[in-house]
Amino acid sequence: MLLWLGFIVCTSVIVYSGTKLSKYGDIIAEKTGLGRAWIGLVLMASVTSLKGPLLSIANPNHIISALSAIAMTTIAIVGLTYRAEKKPLLLAWDSIGILLIYLINLMLLYMLR
């Protein structure tokens, strides 16, 4: 029970902080005239990268999820570029590919738990 409470508290802090960070980023963009895209790309990326050496404390099994996310994103980009005209099984080929990679990711993570 305490674990779930800690999870909910941490999640709430992250959502609140992210909302405020976005709001203040818009204000900075407006006041400086740098533009929202520049602020989002440069300043927001810099601020969110100030969290220390996260990869040193990350579980090595997370590389499976990271590689799966890269593969799914790649399939989505290719799918947006080449639209499927026929949809086997009521889904386009890119949707099927993303679903398969997701299921494989879940299976691998379950096996490595």
Q: Are 79 and 92 in contact (CB under 8 A)?
A: yes
All structural domains of the chain with their residue ranges: 2-51, 62-108
Predicted confidence pLDDT, tens digits, the chain (113 residues): 788 999 999 999 989 988 888 888 889 888 999 888 888 888 777 776 777 676 677 787 888 898 999 999 999 999 888 876 777 677 888 889 999 999 999 999 999 88
